[in-house]
Structure 1
Amino acid sequence: MKKVLVVSIVLLLVTFIMAETTIVFWHHESPAHRVAAFQKVIDLFEQEYPDIKVVQQVVPWDDAYTKTLAAINAGTTPDFQFSLPDLTITAYQANGIIPLGELIEEIDEKYDFIDSQLEPYMINGNYWGIPIWTMPMVLIYRPSIIEKYLETSELPKNWNELLLAAQKITLKAAAEGEEIYGIGLTAGNNLCTQEQVYTIMANVGVELFDENGNLTFNSPETLRAVEFYKDLFKFSPPGATGWAWGEIEMNFAAGKIAMMPYFGGLQKRFFDMGIYDLDGVPQPFPIDGQRSSLVFPNDIHVFKSAKEKGHLEEVYEFIRFIMRPEINAILTAQTEPGSFVPVTVAAQESDAYWNDPIINQFEHLNRVIVDEIEYGKLYGFETGSVVNLAIGSISGANLLAEMIQNVVTEKYTIEEAVSNTTERMREFLEE
């Protein structure tokens, strides 16, 4: 009887193990608190779905594109991946992912996606990525610096006011022997610069392509935006020509920068330090311009390997799970508050999001950030869908950032830099 019992238990264990499905995904968020928040979501999912095991694997952003392409070519992709529009386009062009229109329709009906956040994933009549959070840029600032050097709590509302405020703060601080700068802009050849300059470009309606996919970058609007960026950059800290995320965040947190177009993700750092001197307003725009800024949706794309391995329904269950408002609050507010923002109306209005301690502490800033999603755009996707697949390569090459670096270092005139960048973009169109 004991032998029979032992055999029965073994058979049950074997059956259980065989019944369990393991799904694997890649993401590129290596900070420990982000990994921990993802694991919290995974643990909650596995409690509800004990027959599905989920494994997260971190692939740094620097390796994301090469490893994705290599895995597609070698047939070694995970089941799905957290992504950005240009990486999803890259995977689409490599024939490595599946369309997700039906799942998006299901989630949209239940939670109501913000339509603009779906647009970068519409390729040839179908959706190839599901947005899971988005990242709006607004003008964040240190209220104490504004009040001290501008002698007001009012923030600039247009470009002229922004330029004058940045100048006044920089000059007044210098006269008092303080190393404080009115604006924080970068000019390094990196994604940080690219996103900041596009925030300025969005204010005057710059478009990389028209609705037919024709390159329209070399325009009066682009020249105007680059000229303003160059003028404003004069009131950034010295050395910012080579800065990226780390340097500008460190200097802003240290009180060396009064204001800057940026994501809201510094909230966690300030909260952990017990510093609440942080707020934000919509990005100022010209009197004859438009309220807008960069809004960068992040998505999940699903590899063909998930379907080939029979894991598709398990992957879909996980995606449905993370889009529940109370779970999406963990994926956004607890992962990177202020930077990762919900993309559905249900999640944006949920108590789970607004009751998060950090989101609640900086509530005004976060209301501004959420509101900005309605006005934001993303370079190359201004017309409502993917009209030219070259945007993936153009974005990955950081051409906007390279252009700005050449302008602020006076390697090229504004006209030369915009013209050269347009020709560089054209090379990707011809490939």
Structure 2
Amino acid sequence: MWFKRVWMLSLAALVFGTCVAFGEIIEIVFWHHEAPAYRVAAFQQVIDAFEKEYPNIHVRQEVVPWGEAWSRTAAAIRAGTTPDFQFDIPDFNLYVYELGGIIPVTDLVEKIDTKYGYLKSQLLMYQHHGEIWGVPIWTMPMVLIYRPSMLEEAGILPPRTWEELLEAAAKLTNPPERYGIMLTAGLNLLTQELAWCFMAPSGTELFDANGNVTFNSPQTIRAVAYYKELSKYSPPGSAAWIWGEAELNFGAGRIAMMPYFGGLEKRFFEDLKSTDLAAVPMPMPSECGYARTLTYPNAVHIFKSAAQDPKRLEAVFTFIEFMMRPDMNTILTAGQEPGSFVPVTEAMLAPDSPYWDHPTIKAFLDLNRLLVREVRYGTLYGFEHGVVNLGIGEIIGENVLGEVLQRVVVGGESPEAAVAWGQKRMEELSRPVR
């Protein structure tokens, strides 16, 4: 009954366009997790533009740090104090869905898709139980970034295969001044992201199409063994690093290459006044390799509280659709974090899109063209076949991929034993969608 009621409300808002009476003010509130002041300012720029065009709708942003998002969302759902919508990532979206706090957004996604053309790979991670539960706003692909000056000095071409990457990392390593690669092996999200940059091209799948755990495979063992070998050329102590240490050391010229988001271009362009930054797709095995990488689509989910009033729901739909307009979406992507926050629609990737006119995007044009291409090949661990296992949230939360690498790189365990442990732990957390 709930879904039928929401569908009717959505239809009323989208098709019949429930009108906000002249002079009647509707205030909508959303949570996001981008705390840096320049990101907050970008959101406010979009809000100000929206309120100028829709003076009867007032929008308020509230920042909830990622570290607090899960607990505060659960508390708000229990207390009935949720905002109208919130930014999320696929595993967080599943978490809120299981709390019973959100509505399907299939109609809104289809409307935006008709208008701007979604990249289908970015919708897959939000589809389950016959509906779409998140509206993608931007995504975050990883590539192999490198310092062109260092590779040119060493006479090395950007690596395309695992074999070339290993050879390049060895040749570029000159301790303690410089190391060929940066890899981590801790119980943190960065390690899981880096793990997938090698597991995906190797053909690893956490689940099959039916949600069965398939982690313990020759492809996974191959990737873990390679990761251990490549880690020899990473700086001492880097196993425990997270994003801050990685970015500082790369920016300081201590690291020649690393799998990462493209967002360092903002630091290079604005702070270092340098364009000594480039990228290639994540290298793959020369035999039986796949052109795949990691991508993190960032979407919004709409809380049930917003659907209790058709006018409020219409206002929420209107603002979300406004965010996807190319001029506004350029602010939320290139204006917030150029290179890290990448568009998810064909309209934004078109040659005449305002996205390509942003100064930082233009300064690293080849890098940004690569990033938008890689979005089409991007996957996310546990979502290779869409949402097929609800246990992925716990698997990510426990840093199972990170522990597999830590056991091998730091603990000296064999790749076979560590992957077998990972399979067993995933099976214990597994909850296939039926």
TM-score with structure 1 length normalisation? 0.92
Rounded to whole Å, the distance in 2 between the matches of 1:202 and 1:332 is 25
Rounded to whole Å, the distance in 2 between the matches of 1:119 and 1:353 is 24
DSSP 3-state at the match of 1:109: helix
1:25 aligns with 2:25: no
Rounded to whole Å, the distance in 2 between the matches of 1:396 and 1:227 is 24
- Please give the per-residue CA displacement for 1:359-394, whole angstroms capped at 9, x wherever unaligned: 0000000011111111111111112x2111111221
- Please give the per-residue CA displacement for 1:5-28, whole angstroms capped at 9, x wherever unaligned: xxxxxxxxxx99972111111111
Paired position in structure 1 for 2:295:
295
CA 312–16 in structure 1, closer or farther in 2 if over 3 Å, else same: closer
- Where do residues 19-418 of structure 1 align in structure 2 (5 Å cutoff)? 19-148=24-153, 150-152=154-156, 154-170=157-173, 173-174=174-175, 179-273=177-271, 274-288=273-287, 289-310=289-310, 311-349=312-350, 350-383=352-385, 385-418=386-419
What is the CA distance between 1:125 and its match in structure 2? 1.2
- Given that 1:86 and 1:396 are in contact with CA atoms closer than 8 Å, whether structure 2 keeps it comes out as no
- Please give the per-residue CA displacement for 1:108-152, whole angstroms capped at 9, x wherever unaligned: 01110000100000011110001100111011001111112x224
- Please give the per-residue CA displacement for 1:77-100, whole angstroms capped at 9, x wherever unaligned: 110001000000000011100001
- Given that 1:188 and 1:240 are in contact with CA atoms closer than 8 Å, whether structure 2 keeps it comes out as no
Letter in 2 for 1:421: G
Letter in 2 for 1:321: F
DSSP 3-state at the match of 1:252: helix
What is the CA distance between 1:66 and its match in structure 2? 1.2
CA 344–430 in structure 1, closer or farther in 2 if over 3 Å, else same: closer
- Given that 2:389 and 2:431 are in contact with CA atoms closer than 8 Å, whether structure 1 keeps it comes out as no
Rounded to whole Å, the distance in 2 between the matches of 1:205 and 1:26 is 36
What is the CA distance between 1:188 and its match in structure 2? 2.0
- Given that 2:105 and 2:132 are in contact with CA atoms closer than 8 Å, whether structure 1 keeps it comes out as yes
What is the CA distance between 1:228 and its match in structure 2? 0.7
Letter in 2 for 1:354: W
- Please give the per-residue CA displacement for 1:236-275, whole angstroms capped at 9, x wherever unaligned: 1111111111110110011110011110001111111211
TM-score with structure 2 length normalisation? 0.92
- Please give the per-residue CA displacement for 1:386-425, whole angstroms capped at 9, x wherever unaligned: 1111112212222111221121112532222111122221
- Please give the per-residue CA displacement for 1:144-172, whole angstroms capped at 9, x wherever unaligned: 11112x224x21110001001101111xx
Rounded to whole Å, the distance in 1 between the matches of 2:115 and 2:377 is 23
Letter in 1 for 2:162: W
What is the CA distance between 1:33 and its match in structure 2? 1.1
Larger Rg: 1
- Given that 2:143 and 2:281 are in contact with CA atoms closer than 8 Å, whether structure 1 keeps it comes out as yes
Rounded to whole Å, the distance in 2 between the matches of 1:379 and 1:297 is 12
Letter in 1 for 2:152: E
Rounded to whole Å, the distance in 2 between the matches of 1:49 and 1:402 is 49
Rounded to whole Å, the distance in 2 between the matches of 1:231 and 1:245 is 22
CA 408–17 in structure 1, closer or farther in 2 if over 3 Å, else same: farther
Runs of 4+ in 1 over 3 A off after TM superposition: 15-18
Rounded to whole Å, the distance in 1 between the matches of 2:332 and 2:61 is 14
Rounded to whole Å, the distance in 2 between the matches of 1:403 and 1:72 is 34
For these two proteins, the number of residue pairs brought into alignment is 409
Rounded to whole Å, the distance in 2 between the matches of 1:34 and 1:401 is 29
- Identity in percent: 56
Paired position in structure 1 for 2:430:
429
- Please give the per-residue CA displacement for 1:202-233, whole angstroms capped at 9, x wherever unaligned: 11111010001111011111111111111111
- Given that 2:140 and 2:296 are in contact with CA atoms closer than 8 Å, whether structure 1 keeps it comes out as yes
Aligned-residue CA RMSD (Å): 1.6
Rounded to whole Å, the distance in 1 between the matches of 2:390 and 2:302 is 19
What is the CA distance between 1:309 and its match in structure 2? 4.5
What is the CA distance between 1:430 and its match in structure 2? 5.9
- Given that 1:137 and 1:263 are in contact with CA atoms closer than 8 Å, whether structure 2 keeps it comes out as yes
Unaligned runs of 5+ residues in structure 1 are 1-14
- Given that 2:390 and 2:431 are in contact with CA atoms closer than 8 Å, whether structure 1 keeps it comes out as no
